[in-house]
């Protein structure tokens, strides 16, 4: 055997392993580039989308609950919130011009002309690209991402924090000299002295019957005779807790209602508890075809509240009402109404303040047709108003309102309020005070 030939053949294969290792390293580098750098890209893409989503939602919230006409304020808020969401350890690039108010996408569920779009960048064109690690070995210096989001304002129908207060909806006050009725125009006769006399019996303290007109909101009647947006935003209103006499059914006429609670509370203090805290179970206003029963038992409260029907709460409510109102005011003590909105609130948007509460609105005809004295035990809600509580007070003879300790009315302002859940509104936009924002693109 030729040993020298064998050794020569072995010597000729030296370095082959290095070639294989080099090829393997190239493959590992390429794989690392894919795993690491592509991973950076995908993580950053999700973070950029979060920034754009947060910015769009914040801008829409500003339009929904701060001011529907303050586009500059909504733009600034949207940009600030988007910048607060980092993309791979740094703020994305979002300029004020990257926040726009385009036409809402076709087929979306919200209000038209209420969309906010935000574009967020972390890329080469904006001078803040994402880094490349292993990709540099292949000549790839950086990479970038861009995200866009569009939010829209939608109306809702449900709340889990309805207060145990219900007031009569607005009606068209009859005036023989005014060419009645005014509906569907603006009723110039309705004020604090108006009384709903359609069902009056003309005896005792009750005036003679008059053809006062009430049209519930929804359906072919649009917003009906009730309050509407944006005309009644900020309207000062009084819930006349201490003026609950059946002989004078006037604006602000009040009925305490029983609100079901998730904690099952059902005692003497449940009325005050429902002022100070949320019941936690869904309440809504009735759909057009909903007929309320003549009686609602304790076991049926929750199911009927979810359909817009409520039992009334008997008893003197002036004391517990003032105690509950004072508790809510203490939670946001410096908030006040000024210049068409809430100022100095500790909450942002201010519509999320505990002093902004949902108040049920009674179907006037349904309630008094059952019993013209207004003493029946069940009422049907047709709307829910947002209500900023200013305090307890009194309605003066001239219709002005004064905040005063020991007052017999809850004084506040009508406004929009956040809804809960995705229950769609059955009311037209101008009658829908419950609002939320959703991402539509």
Which range among 139-143, 339-343, 402-406 shows the weakest confidence by mean pLDDT? 139-143
Q: Using CA atoms in the order 388, 390, 393, 399, what is the torsion angle rounded to 10 degrees? A: -70
Tokens 């007109």, located at residue: 213
Cis peptide before 230 (omega within 30 of 0): yes
First vs last C-alpha separation in the chain:
80
Q: Looking at residues 329-343, what average pLDDT do you find?
A: 94
The pLDDT, as a whole number, for residue 181 is: 77
Q: Indicate whether 220 pLDDT > 60.
A: yes
Bigger pLDDT: 139 vs 246:
139
Q: What is the 3-state secondary structure (H, E, C) of 399-432?
A: CCEEECCCCCEEEEEEECEECCCCCECCCCHHHC
- Reference 143, options 34, 28, 31; nearest CA is 34
pLDDT digits (tens, 9 = 90+) for 317-332: 888 999 999 999 999 9
Q: Mean pLDDT for the chain?
A: 87
Compute φ and ψ for 284, nearest 5 degrees: -150, -175
The pLDDT, as a whole number, for residue 435 is: 93
CA-to-CA dists, residue 384 to 1, 147, 165, 204, 293, angstroms: 105, 37, 10, 33, 20
Beta strand 356-362 pairing with 341-343 = unpaired
Bigger pLDDT: 23 vs 260:
260
**Portion of the chain with pLDDT greater than 90, in percent:** 57
**In angstroms, rounded to a whole number, what is the distance separating the alpha carbons of residues 218 and 222?**
5
Bigger pLDDT: 302 vs 267:
302
**In angstroms, rounded to a whole number, what is the distance separating the alpha carbons of residues 227 and 387?**
12
DSSP assignment string, 60-72: HHHHHHT-TT-HH
- Helix (H) / strand (E) element for 131: namely strand 130-131
Q: Taken in order 372, 373, 377, 383, is the CA torsion positive or negative?
A: positive
> DSSP code of 87?
B
pLDDT digits (tens, 9 = 90+) for 356-410: 999 999 999 888 888 777 777 899 999 999 999 999 999 999 999 999 988 989 9
- Residue 29: band (very low, low, confident or very high) from pLDDT cuts 50, 70, 90: low
The pLDDT, as a whole number, for residue 206 is: 65
What distance separates the 2 farthest-apart alpha carbons in the chain? Answer: 137
Bigger pLDDT: 178 vs 73:
73
- Reference 236, options 390, 22, 11, 32; nearest CA is 390
Compute φ and ψ for 195, nearest 5 degrees: -135, 145
- Residue 205: band (very low, low, confident or very high) from pLDDT cuts 50, 70, 90: low
4 exposed, middle or buried (CB, 10 Å; 0-12, 13-18, 19+)?
A: exposed
Q: Are 145 and 130 in contact (CB under 8 A)?
A: yes
- Residue 17: band (very low, low, confident or very high) from pLDDT cuts 50, 70, 90: low
Q: Looking at residues 28-57, what average pLDDT do you find?
A: 84
Look up residue 243 and give its two tokens: 């003026």
The pLDDT, as a whole number, for residue 81 is: 97
Q: Is 365 helix (H, G, I), strand (E, B) or coil?
A: helix
**In angstroms, rounded to a whole number, what is the distance separating the alpha carbons of residues 378 and 293?**
7
DSSP assignment string, 200-242: --S-TTPPPP---B---SSGGGTTTTS--TTTTTT-EEEEBTT
The pLDDT, as a whole number, for residue 67 is: 86
- Residue 19: band (very low, low, confident or very high) from pLDDT cuts 50, 70, 90: low
347 exposed, middle or buried (CB, 10 Å; 0-12, 13-18, 19+)?
A: middle
pLDDT digits (tens, 9 = 90+) for 254-288: 889 999 999 888 777 899 999 999 999 999 999 88
Tokens 């910048």, located at residue: 83
Q: CA triplet 37, 42, 44: central angle to 5 degrees?
A: 95
Q: Indicate whether 123 pLDDT > 90.
A: yes
**In angstroms, rounded to a whole number, what is the distance separating the alpha carbons of residues 342 and 204?**
43
Q: CA triplet 367, 372, 377: central angle to 5 degrees?
A: 50
Q: Looking at residues 21-50, what average pLDDT do you find?
A: 78
Parse the chain into domains and list their residue ranges.
Answer: 16-155, 158-439
Q: Looking at residues 342-359, what average pLDDT do you find?
A: 95
- Residue 244: band (very low, low, confident or very high) from pLDDT cuts 50, 70, 90: very low
In Å, how far from its chain's centre is CA 27?
A: 54
Compute φ and ψ for 98, nearest 5 degrees: -85, -5
Q: Is 83 helix (H, G, I), strand (E, B) or coil?
A: helix
Q: Indicate whether 202 pLDDT > 80.
A: no
Look up residue 311 and give its two tokens: 């039992």
The pLDDT, as a whole number, for residue 195 is: 86
Q: Indicate whether 221 pLDDT > 80.
A: no
Q: Looking at residues 119-126, what average pLDDT do you find?
A: 95
**In angstroms, rounded to a whole number, what is the distance separating the alpha carbons of residues 260 and 303?**
9
């Amino acid at each position: 055997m030729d040993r020298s030939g064998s050794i020569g053949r072995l010597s000729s294969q030296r370095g082959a392993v290095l070639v294989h290792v080099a090829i393997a390293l190239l493959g590992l580098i390429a794989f690392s580039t894919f795993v690491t750098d592509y991973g950076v890209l995908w993580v950053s893409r999700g973070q950029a989308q979060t920034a754009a989503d947060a910015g769009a939602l914040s801008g829409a919230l500003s339009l929904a609950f701060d001011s529907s006409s303050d586009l500059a304020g909504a733009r600034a808020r949207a940009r600030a919130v988007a910048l607060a969401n980092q993309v791979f350890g740094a703020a994305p690039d979002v300029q004020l011009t990257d926040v726009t108010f385009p036409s809402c996408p076709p087929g979306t569920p919200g209000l038209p002309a209420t969309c906010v779009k935000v574009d967020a960048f972390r890329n080469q064109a904006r001078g803040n690209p994402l880094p490349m690690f292993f990709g540099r070995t292949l000549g790839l210096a950086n990479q970038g991402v861009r995200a866009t989001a569009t939010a829209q304002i939608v109306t809702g129908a449900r709340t889990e924090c309805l207060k145990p207060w219900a007031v009569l909806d607005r009606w068209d006050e009859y005036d023989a000299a005014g060419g009645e009725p005014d509906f569907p125009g603006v009723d110039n006769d309705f004020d604090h002295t108006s009384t709903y006399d359609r069902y009056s019996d003309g005896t005792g303290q009750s005036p003679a019957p008059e053809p006062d007109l009430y049209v519930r909101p929804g359906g072919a009647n649009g917003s009906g005779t009730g309050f509407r947006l944006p005309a009644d935003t900020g309207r000062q209103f009084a819930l006349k807790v201490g003026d609950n006499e059946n002989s004078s059914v006037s604006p602000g006429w009040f009925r305490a209602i029983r609100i079901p609670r998730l904690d099952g509370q059902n005692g003497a203090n449940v009325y005050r508890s429902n002022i100070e805290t949320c019941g936690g179970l869904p309440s809504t206003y009735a759909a057009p075809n909903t007929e309320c029963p003549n009686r609602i038992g304790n076991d049926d409260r929750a199911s009927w509240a979810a359909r817009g029907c409520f039992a009334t709460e008997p008893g003197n409510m002036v004391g517990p009402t003032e105690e509950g109102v004072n508790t809510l005011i203490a939670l946001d003590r410096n908030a006040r109404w000024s210049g068409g909105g809430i100022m100095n609130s500790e909450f942002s948007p201010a519509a999320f303040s505990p002093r902004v509460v949902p108040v049920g609105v009674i179907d006037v005809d349904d309630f008094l047709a059952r019993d013209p004295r207004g003493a029946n035990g069940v009422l049907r809600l047709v709307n829910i108003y947002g209500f900023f509580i200013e305090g307890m007070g009194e309605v003066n003879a001239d219709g002005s309102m004064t905040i005063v300790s020991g007052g017999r009315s809850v004084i506040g302002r009508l406004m929009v309020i956040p809804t809960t859940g995705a229950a769609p509104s059955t009311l037209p936009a101008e009658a829908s005070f419950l609002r939320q924002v959703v991402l539509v693109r």
